[in-house]
Structure formats: structure tokens, C-alpha cells
Structure 1
Amino acid sequence: MRVSEAMTRDVVVANPNQSLCEVARIMADCDIGCMPVSENDKLVGMITDRDITVRAIARGKAPDSTKVREVMSSDIKYCFDDIEISDVARNMGEIKLHRLPVVNRDKHLVGILALADVANCEGPEEVGVAVCGISEPIKVAIG
């Protein structure tokens, strides 16, 4: 099955100039934990509830005045809509992400693929591969 058959198409997008407070309200209203960030029809980042908590609130940044661009992840990982879900699930495990923005071959945002989408379409084996990768502890060399 292809990503386009499983992804969520109705994507709520943030603007990098929005305040964290605005984005957090949207996340709460839509019951979502992340939003792609787009500027001039180009995907420029991802903002998650964890970004807001760890990169802003925990560091004393004011949610009303701090902009999305200040705490978003700009190293964007994404997948194409015409790829097999099993390949993407394996990749999600390797790069330790629960959700990926989905773009078409023109690199326009067309959806989001979450582990839940993979589970609904592919079943426990593919999700298991991804979750095992995500859950694997990061090895740190000491000395």
C-alpha cells in the first residue's frame, strides 16, 4: 500500500510568524500534537507540542511573544506520497519519528503520515518495526 492511501490529507499548517500561544490553541482545538510549518507555500519546519514545552516554556520563553520559527525543527524529514508504507515505517523507526509530513514529487505538502495511519493500514508488524526503532535507546560514547 502507498503512503497516499493511508496518510491524513486534512493538514493544519502553522506559519513561522505565529505565536506559540496561537499554535498551541490550534493544536488543542484540533487534538493534534504537531503541525508542519509553511512559508510562501514552502515547507520550512515542524512544530510539536514537545517543542513548545521543552524549547520554549522550560526555557522561560513567553508563549504570547515567542514565534514558531524560534523553536520549530527546521531539519525536516518527510516522505513522498507514492512510496510503499512498509518502507516509510522502517525509515520512521530508523530516524525515530512518530509522524512525517508527506509531499508529492513537486515537494508540495499533501498530508501527514503517523504511526497510527500505518497501524490502520499495514497492521502490527510494520508498526512494530517502527516502534522498535523509535524506542531503541540512543548509544552515547563516553570517554
Structure 2
Amino acid sequence: MQTIQDVMTRDVQSITPQETVQRAAQLMDELNVGAIPVLDGQKLVGMITDRDITVRSTAAGQAPGETRVGDVMSTDVRTCSPHQTVDEVLGQMGDVQIRRLPVVDQQSHEVIGIVSLGDMATKHSAGIDRALEEVSFPAEPDRSTIGAETRH
């Protein structure tokens, strides 16, 4: 049975909460990725995604060179262990509709990798169809915030 350590990407780049959103976007472009773990020292404190930048920063009219990663990052970060099975993690990803997870060492609590649906699709095909279907299932829009700024 394959484990996450067999399919994860190692040598993950990270960013600090104090860096700018512009730097996060530049790093994503350089690395050709859509998410970067946010570390305070060695501690995982969040993830910043291209969607966080677009929805939480750009759509709100924030200046990318002035807005801090810590202001727009996702803080409720799910993680996995390198020793978990690929099937178990695929199930977790499908359940919560996420496409990538930081891999955290259980003893040191340090980020040692990241695993994405793409990693699993190329290195472990069993179960990927079901997980991809669950992750890609359309969510309902949050209608409570749509047009809120135009209602007075």
C-alpha cells in the first residue's frame, strides 16, 4: 500500500506571514504552483493560495505590494502525515474539497512536503477518479456576501 511519502513533493518552498501578497504571487509564478505553505519560523500557520490572493485581496481592492500574506492566508489548514496511506488522504481531500495538503512530520511538526491531487494522479491512479469528482463538486455560492456592499 502506497503512503504519502511515496508520492509527495519534497523541498517545499514556503513564505512568512509578513511577506507581501505580491511576493507570494511572484513565488507562485516562479514555482508554477497555486499554493504555498505559510511558516512562522518552522511552524505552519497557514496556506496562501492563488484563490486567496484573488478573492480576499484583489477583489477587495487591496494593494498587493502592501497587503501582507498573513492578512489573506487560509488559517484552517488541513495536513497529513507522510505515513498515511494515499487512499486515506484521497478520502480526506474529497471530503473537504481541497486539492493539496502540507505533509507534516509527526515528531518535529515541521512541513516536510506537500501532496496534491496531481501528485497522486501521476504516481497512484487508484481512487483518484472518486476523489477528483468529490473535490470538484460545485459548491453553492455564499449569497450572504454577494452585493452586500451595494445594499444600504
Tell me whether 62-71 or 130-139 shows the greater mean CA deviation: 130-139
Tell me whether 67-76 or 126-135 shows the greater mean CA deviation: 126-135
The percentage of aligned residue pairs carrying the same residue is 37
Instruction: Count residues with an aligned counterpart.
Output: 139
- In the TM superposition, residue 126 of structure 1 has moved relative to its aligned partner by 1.5
Corresponding residue for 2:87? 86
Contact 1:86 1:122 in 2 (8 A): no
Q: In 2, distance between residues paired with 1:68 and 1:84?
A: 32
Q: In 1, distance between residues paired with 2:36 and 2:139?
A: 25
Say whether residues 1:118 and 2:124 are aligned partners: no
Instruction: Please report the TM-score for the alignment, with normalisation by the length of structure 1.
Output: 0.93
Say if 1:121 and 1:40 are closer, same or farther in 2 by CA, change over 3 A: same
Deviations 1:37-82 (A, max 9, x none): 0002100000001100110001000000000000000001010010
Q: Give the secondary structure class of the aligned counterpart of 1:36.
A: strand
Matched to 1:105, the amino acid is Q
Deviations 1:57-116 (A, max 9, x none): 010000000000000000010100100001101110101000000011122100000001
Taking the TM superposition and a 5 Å limit, the aligned residue runs for 1:29-40 are: 29-40=30-41
Higher Cα Rg, which structure = 2
- In the TM superposition, residue 137 of structure 1 has moved relative to its aligned partner by 3.5
Q: Any stretches of 5+ residues in structure 1 without a counterpart?
A: none
Corresponding residue for 1:96? 97
Matched to 2:89, the amino acid is V
